[in-house]
């Protein structure tokens, strides 16, 4: 094929979309910055979720106090715990632009955004298995302090507790778990039982449709990869303090 014919063929292919024109890659529409930011945020928030929760709580407290705008310095002071305004600005920058330099953040807008990120823009129903001293204390704290979390089911094996009510919730025998729980729509299960039975309880909660577990038994749980598990070993936490004091 002559050079002239090759040139005409190439032009026809370009018009028909069969070959990229010179510079086509440079002219291609880039991914929206919001999309890049969102993906970056999803990767980065794994290590900053606890801090974001503190920001959300501090901002909600500010709203209740009547504050509509808050600077990063003011938010840091409200949160305490050695939180720096620099860290706050860095974390929040992953979520977008919510304020102007020197003027502060719009508290209402930021509370809503953080609520969506943390899953706190909806109510969550919780099941507690094990309603001894620890389970009772956890339930009381959540019922009185955290308005987004509602205790919908309580299970225990103690005959003196089974059948009684707590804040309108009937305490059921733990043998009823599989029969009762699927109808209640609980997304989170709190495990406050001895370590020897914690694994069995976790498996039963997962089979009943619970997708996230907060475990207070000092044992590592083995469940499906799609189930979120957080284990809080109170003795281990206290050992951090005793180490500091030693």
**Domain CATH number, residue 178:** 3.40.50.720
Structure confidence at residue 169 (pLDDT): 96
Q: What span, in angstroms and rounded, lies between the C-alpha atoms of 203 and 64? A: 40
Give residue 221's domain range.
124-242
Same domain membership, residue 105 and residue 70 = yes
Q: Are residues 146 and 213 in the same domain?
A: yes
Q: What is the CATH number of the domain that holds 97?
A: 1.10.10.10
Residue environment code for 193-218, b if the CB has 16+ CB neighbours within 10 A, otherwise e: beeebbbebbebbbebebebbbbbbe
- CA torsion through residues 214, 42, 148, 175, sign: negative
Which ranges of the chain have pLDDT less than 50?
13-47
User: Do residues 163 and 103 lie in contact, with contact meaning Cβ atoms separated by under 8 Å?
Assistant: no
Answer yes or no: do 169 and 220 share one domain: yes
pLDDT at 182: 92
User: Does residue 176 fall inside a structural domain?
Assistant: yes
Residue-wise burial string across 104-133, b where 16 or more C-beta atoms lie within 10 A, e elsewhere: bbbbeebbebbbebeebeeebebbbbbbee
pLDDT at residue 33, as a whole number = 34
Residue 11 lies in a domain: no
- 157 with 60, same domain? no
Prediction pTM value: 0.72
């Amino acid at each position: 094929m002559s050079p002239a014919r090759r040139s005409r063929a190439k032009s026809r292919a370009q018009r028909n979309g069969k070959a990229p024109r010179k510079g086509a890659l440079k002219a291609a529409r880039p991914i929206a910055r919001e999309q890049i930011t969102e993906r970056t945020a999803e990767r980065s928030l794994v290590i900053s979720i606890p801090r974001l929760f503190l920001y959300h709580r501090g901002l909600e407290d500010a709203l209740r106090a009547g504050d509509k705008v808050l600077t990063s310095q003011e938010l840091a002071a409200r949160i305490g715990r050695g939180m720096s305004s620099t860290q706050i600005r860095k974390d929040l920058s992953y979520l977008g632009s919510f304020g102007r330099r020197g003027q502060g953040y719009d508290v209402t807008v930021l509370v809503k955004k953080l609520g969506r990120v943390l899953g706190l823009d909806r109510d969550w129903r919780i099941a507690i298995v094990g309603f001894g001293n620890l389970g009772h204390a956890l339930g009381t704290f959540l019922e009185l302090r955290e308005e987004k979390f509602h205790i919908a089911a309580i299970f225990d094996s103690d005959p003196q507790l089974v059948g009684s009510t707590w804040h309108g919730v009937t305490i059921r025998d733990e043998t009823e778990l599989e029969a009762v729980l699927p109808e209640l729509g609980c997304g989170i299960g709190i495990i406050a039982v001895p370590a020897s039975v914690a694994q069995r309880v976790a498996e039963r909660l997962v089979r009943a449709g619970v997708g996230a577990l907060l475990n207070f038994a000092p044992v590592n749980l083995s469940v499906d990869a799609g189930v979120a598990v957080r284990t809080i070993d109170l003795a281990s936490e206290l050992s951090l303090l005793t180490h500091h004091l030693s």
